Structure 1
Amino acid sequence: MNLLSKDKALSRLSLRNPIHCLALGFGSGLVAKAPGTFGTLAAIPFYLLMMHLSFPLYLMCVAIGAIVGVYICGKAAKDMQVHDHGAIVWDEVIGLLITMIAAPAGLLWLGVGFVLFRFFDIIKPWPISWLDKHVHGGFGIMIDDVLAGILALFCMQVLAFNFA
């Protein structure tokens, strides 16, 4: 069953397809306004499930999610026949998980990480903006959010060092 939408690209996807479901952040990317923000919100349950993992296991899960995300996002974009459609939000999920690497526990820190990641994902400072415009396919969809996550991670660690 295809998604009911006026958006022709979205009508080519189905939440019953596991690849599409993941790419769309379990449907969070289908929100009409700010799908990236809602995709980032969809990452929170993943983080809450993973936050108690050992550091190496957390890193391994994030790395696997990012590598698999290249395929997931690329396949969804190809099926949609649109590069980096706003509804594809698996990259936001991975971006927040990167931001939260070794973050202090607590809702305050999760909120700070959320805001930092969304900030860097939205403003796309160089080199993120360059990559966003020039790198295509699943890797192109993922890399700008991975880098936004890394910048947010750096800021989180500076804040945690000074305030945690």
Structure 2
Amino acid sequence: MEPVYRGLGRCVCCFWLAVAFDIVGLLVLLIGVFVNVFFYDLLIYAGAIVIFLSLIWWVFWYSGNIEVPPAELEDDVGLLKKDKGALSGISGAVRRLSSRVSSGIRTSLRRNGAPSGTRADRTQRSAGGPTLVEQVAVAMATMTPQEDTPHSTVSSVASCDVEMPHTTTETSPT
């Protein structure tokens, strides 16, 4: 048997906290308005803020006392009625299809990290083919200018010949 709530409803604690915040906020605000102190503006703002914070407790109290009949909750929490006939068969099939598609997308994103851009990439990943990764080695060296005529330097790195033009950097005297 369900308990019967009278008067304030289920969330009595939230109700009394809201009332207490309202009373304290109003007292602080009125003290700031009518008492001659040098920090009256602080009291006015603090009272207004406390009254505003009481709204949180009022919302908790109100939303905690909303009653929804179990018949309306059945579909929302997954408790489907068995006597809906053909309509429940179609909606059940749609739910199963939707669940399969969303779980397939979720597992695909987890496995691959992110969706790929090309169709060949996707088929190669789904087929489990090897992914080719090319590495390029680049050699860099500090060069000092030896003469004013430009010439090119040939460097051999990982069995590749790379031709790099000679460049100079001009600096202004400081």
Shorter chain as denominator, the TM-score bin is: under 0.3
Larger Rg: 2
Higher relative contact order (CA 8 A, sep 6+): 1
- Quick check: which one's strand share is greater? 2
TM-score by length of 1: 0.26
TM-score by length of 2: 0.25
- Quick check: which one's helix share is greater? 1
